[in-house]
Amino acid sequence: MYEIVGRKSMGEGIDLYNILAPDIASKALPGQFIILRVHEKGERIPITIAKTDKNDGTITILVQTLGKTTHILSESNIGDNLADVVGPLGVPTEIEQFGTVVCIGGGFGIAAIYPIAKGLKESGNKVISIIGARSKNLLLMEDEMRSVSTELLIATNDGSYGTKGIVTDVLKELIYDKKESINRVIAIGPVIMMKAVSDLTRDKSIKTIVSLNPIMIDGTGMCGACRVLVDGKTKFACVDGPDFDGHKVDFDNLMNRLKFYKEEERASYECHTKEHHHS
């Protein structure tokens, strides 16, 4: 049904997949995601749509191998079919002419920020993108990001490329040293990164949008598993988000909720890899 028609390894345990899903490809807007099941007994996992191609009906996703489901996915080949792909889910990211927008991507978040940066640039914004990795050769989607940004800034932990440090160091420099006047920041990546970015922009009252990634099941507002606290109120990330105002998000609660099934996830991963190595 949902054939994998292309895949490539991006390094850092992240793989890119092109999946045949014409209905979704013709509909998806930046900031939206899909939910997929790899096989008939699998769990439903949400993944951001990085690119769409209306002509050949494919969507592109970047997936970081973390536990059992993403591991099974990483073992699939071109020509294999995913059991289910549903989408595009969530509210698209607000894309308007804001002025100067800083787009920050960390890890697989770079895949998510790419279509947003592209949309913002096409809408006439000055787009300053910041992406980071541990080291130069592990940097994702550099060329793509450069092509959709007015300016691309890079951070590597080891200093092998761009600024030595993390993306927030670059943002800080931009705000405090270069005194860039920024109308909006959009940050997608690990929760800890989105939290740090939001803390940094709060003092300067720079509107900051983050894309939250809580545990989801249906993705249609039916279960409430994805609930997050925003401005003290319960929101469902799958239908009210995933984008929220970073200055109002309770990131600590999100981090705790993401950890709830750690034990079960580890057990099922270990069980899977054991079986796998036996066969």
Partner 1 sequence: MDEDKNLNKDNILDIKARLKIKRHEMASQLPEERKRNFKEVPYGYSPEEAIEEAKRCIQCKSEVPECVKGCPVNIDILGFINLIEKGDFLAAAKKIKETNSLPAICGRVCPQEDQCEKLCVVGRRKDTPSVAIGNLERFAADYEAKYGDIHITVKGDKSKKVAVVGGGPAGLTVAGDLCKMGYSVSIFEGLHEIGGVLMYGIPEFRLPKEILLRELKVLEDMGVEIFTNAVVGKTFTIDELLEKKGYDAVFIGTGAGTPKFLNIPGEELNGVYSANEFLTRVNLMRAYNQSEYDTPIKCGRTLVVFGAGNTAMDAVRTGLRLGYEDARIFYRRSRKEMTARLEEVHHAEEEGIKFEFLINPVRFIGDENQNVVGVECQRMELGEPDESGRRRPIPIKGSEFVTNIDAAVIAIGTNANPIVPNSTPGMDLNKWGYIVADENTGRTTKKGVFAGGDIVTGAATVILAMGAGKKAAVSIDEYLRTGTW
Ligand X SMILES: Cc1cc2nc3c(=O)[nH]c(=O)nc-3n(C[C@H](O)[C@H](O)[C@H](O)COP(=O)(O)OP(=O)(O)OC[C@H]3O[C@@H](n4cnc5c(N)ncnc54)[C@H](O)[C@@H]3O)c2cc1C
Give CA–CA dist 99/110, Å, rounded.
21
Q: Is 221 in the site for ligand FES (CB under 6 A)?
A: yes
Q: Which residues of 13-24 are buried (b: 16+ CB within 10 A; e: fewer)?
A: bbbbbbbbbeeb
**Closest C-alpha to 83, from 9, 19, 24:** 19
Give CA–CA dist 85/21, Å, rounded.
8
Token pair in block for residue 26: 């013709």
Among 18, 48, 52, 156, binds ligand X (CB under 6 A): 48
Straight-line distance from the first to the last Cα atom of the chain, in angstroms, rounded to the nearest whole number: 27
Binding to ligand X, residues 234-273 (CB under 6 A): 242, 258, 262, 265, 269
Among 216, 228, 230, 249, binds ligand FES (CB under 6 A): 216
Contact residues for 48 (Cβ-Cβ < 8 A; gap 6+): 31, 32, 33, 61, 62, 108, 111, 112, 188, 211
Q: Is 259 in the site for partner 1 (CB under 8 A)?
A: yes
Among 29, 215, 223, 229, binds ligand X (CB under 6 A): 215
Residue of closest CB approach to ligand X? 67
Minimum gap (Å) between residue 60 Cβ and ligand X:
10
Number of residues that bind partner 1 (CB under 8 A): 43
Binding to ligand FES, residues 234-253 (CB under 6 A): 236, 238
Q: Which is nearer to ligand FES, 5 or 225 (CB)?
A: 225
Q: Is 83 in the site for partner 1 (CB under 8 A)?
A: yes
Minimum gap (Å) between residue 46 Cβ and ligand FES:
8
Token pair in block for residue 230: 């925003």
Span of 81-89, 150-158, 164-172, 182-190 interacting with partner 1 by CB under 8 A: 81-89
Q: Which is nearer to ligand X, 11 or 124 (CB)?
A: 11
Give CA–CA dist 204/174, Å, rounded.
12
Q: Is 62 in the site for ligand X (CB under 6 A)?
A: yes
Environment class of 92 (CB within 10 Å of its CB; exposed 0-12, middle 13-18, buried 19+): middle
Q: Is 260 in the site for partner 1 (CB under 8 A)?
A: yes
Among 74, 172, 247, 261, binds partner 1 (CB under 8 A): 261
Residues that bind ligand FES (CB under 6 A): 216-219, 221-226, 236, 238
